[in-house]
Structure 1
């Protein structure tokens, strides 16, 4: 394998160490190998006094990262026993937690598409930069899955019910809304990124920010807060959909129709996961919960069907099972949160196992 074919590249320039996700034809989707290599590099750089800053970017023109390698998860869920996917998520979620606690500035350039697993390797960083090209989303409900990589933790912290809206609909947001929702810290023009990266080799991060940060483009969610907060505060997905239709506005109606196209099971589990995340507190405890949910999803039909419809056959016509919200019982939802015994992720430590709010 030549250097240009490596799925993730590493180099240092001056005081900065660089991670480049290097699968542009797959929109830099994360594989298990990439996760392990990034973790190893972070270990080396953490103990290297010459490295003062870590920077993560994506190869190609389209974006940082479109998510995890969901095709591999699909194949494992359909044809395997789920072991490979569980091992991938275990290492990926450990990496997400590590990024959040990394002792050196971790600068994520969230230019272009940043979705799913791409959010996990960027939005937990200490310095998160979006551009006018950024399209940030957690679109998992559309493939019969649930936001993971700490996504439910981040969205639970968003103002009002904005995080609930984004988690359930999978809506893509731009720079202004990413800043509003707490998924990013600064906006930089995409044309300035090359100069910014050059400066990080020579200057401390605060000086680089002072030189390059600009006001963000206007977002859309602030003007929608009133109906989003009112509708998504409901106790069930069915009631959320009812309130969205009853609101009467075209944007609320569009959100309701979007929800009705998603996996009913994934919607109900996602709502429960975000609500529980608000009570769990730490990222580590939420990642422990997400691992339970992700592993449970491997044995449900909707994950395989959702990936088939969206990414493999691309007919965009998933046949969800159960097909309607009313058919998804509380018991169906609860089983996603059942502790895994000796297979727990265990990021929060053994003493937290009984503290999960049921």
Structure 2
């Protein structure tokens, strides 16, 4: 019999144990190790304790012959996972607990790396909103299943962070510059675009054929505008382009954190040359510590999720004000 991964009771009658916590439910059913995120009101936003519970389950099932694969899902109608509980992390920083806030990444990133190389298949149902930390739990898995409500994104540039959890490994390998577009805008893609781009392996239903998806049909101008290593040049090409979708994209990036945009571009370019997700996560860990020691994240979360005025006061008025030295400093160079 499988042993419980966290303290708790077993189901009467000798059936497979189910361990229930307020925020994560783990169980073994018919050989499948099930992990259900259970904070539906917060779109299953990840806390430190949730990550610990997931890691404990993953560790317990690694050598358990009764478990043939893992399946990750989220409870609630809004989505699998909206990412980390960034409001809680911001509050830690406001309270002066930098070490406690950064510890979140020291738990999250090893879990992301573990799932990327797990010896058993890791399936996930990326229903609804699956963003940020939710991508870290699912994107590197064996079988990524979408639904008609799937919305995938790495939106961190909008809150003064960067696309982390090793996601730029996959983003940098998407067709053309579509992954660069995702990293710099933080915009979501639906199941059709995600399937076309290789972020999903299958879906239960498609509203649009992948070849007719938004990303597929807009790839031409995305490739043209998002090429190169200079974020200022990217914005200039967007400003000069006449495609009807370009103006909206330009306005989105202009509203993102300039430092985050510049770092995101550098990270995508570096991730393209990394041999594994784990290698990208090592870069992410350096960036995470430096971003949390900065103030942009505190301001970004304030504007988007605390005061909700949607008017962040970034340190730089424009990405052109971000120096190369500032970008390299975030990479610890």
TM-score (normalizing by structure 1): 0.85
- How far off is 1:280 after superposition? 2.1
Residue 141 of structure 1 is matched in structure 2 by: 157
Inter-partner Cα distance in structure 2 for 1:81 and 1:43: 29
Residue 242 of structure 1 is matched in structure 2 by: 236
Query: Secondary structure of the residue that 1:250 maps to in structure 2?
Result: coil
User: Contact 2:193 / 2:210 at 8 angstroms: preserved in 1?
Assistant: no
Greater shift after overlay, 228-237 or 265-274?
228-237
Alignment of 1:85-104 (within 5 A): 85-104=101-120
Give the alignment's Cα RMSD to 1 decimal.
Answer: 1.9
Distance 1:264 1:108, change over 3 A: same
Is 1:301 aligned to residue 295 of structure 2?
A: yes
Inter-partner Cα distance in structure 1 for 2:90 and 2:33: 34
Inter-partner Cα distance in structure 2 for 1:133 and 1:141: 23
Alignment of 1:78-89 (within 5 A): 78-89=94-105
Compare the two structures and name the one with the higher helix fraction: 1
* CA offsets 1:154-178 (integer angstroms, 9 cap, x no match): 1111111000000000111011111
- How far off is 1:235 after superposition? 2.7
Match 2:124 to one of 104, 108, 111? 108
Inter-partner Cα distance in structure 2 for 1:282 and 1:14: 32
* CA offsets 1:167-193 (integer angstroms, 9 cap, x no match): 000111011111222211111149xxx
Match 2:74 to one of 28, 47, 58? 58
Residue 26 of structure 2 is matched in structure 1 by: 10
Residue 292 of structure 1 is matched in structure 2 by: 286
Residue 276 of structure 1 is matched in structure 2 by: 270
Inter-partner Cα distance in structure 2 for 1:17 and 1:278: 32
- How far off is 1:299 after superposition? 2.0
Alignment of 1:159-198 (within 5 A): 159-189=175-205
TM-score (normalizing by structure 2): 0.91
- How far off is 1:217 after superposition? 9.1
Distance 1:75 1:232, change over 3 A: same
Residue 227 of structure 2 is matched in structure 1 by: 233
Query: Secondary structure of the residue that 2:213 maps to in structure 1?
Result: coil
User: Contact 2:44 / 2:80 at 8 angstroms: preserved in 1?
Assistant: yes
Instruction: Name stretches of at least 5 consecutive residues in structure 2 with no aligned partner.
Output: 1-6, 9-18
- How far off is 1:103 after superposition? 1.0
Query: Secondary structure of the residue that 1:90 maps to in structure 2?
Result: helix
Query: Secondary structure of the residue that 1:239 maps to in structure 2?
Result: helix
- How far off is 1:86 after superposition? 1.7
Distance 1:124 1:79, change over 3 A: same
Residue 171 of structure 2 is matched in structure 1 by: 155
Inter-partner Cα distance in structure 1 for 2:188 and 2:125: 17
- How far off is 1:5 after superposition? 5.8
Inter-partner Cα distance in structure 2 for 1:243 and 1:35: 41
* CA offsets 1:31-84 (integer angstroms, 9 cap, x no match): 111111111101111111111121110011111000011112211222224111
* CA offsets 1:195-233 (integer angstroms, 9 cap, x no match): xxxxxxxxxxxxxxxxxxx97695211111111001100
Inter-partner Cα distance in structure 1 for 2:65 and 2:209: 34
Inter-partner Cα distance in structure 1 for 2:270 and 2:313: 28
Residue 222 of structure 1 is matched in structure 2 by: 216
Inter-partner Cα distance in structure 2 for 1:118 and 1:235: 28
Residue 47 of structure 2 is matched in structure 1 by: 31
Query: Secondary structure of the residue that 1:133 maps to in structure 2?
Result: coil
Is 1:313 aligned to residue 329 of structure 2?
A: no
Instruction: Name stretches of at least 5 consecutive residues in structure 1 with no aligned partner.
Output: 191-213, 340-358
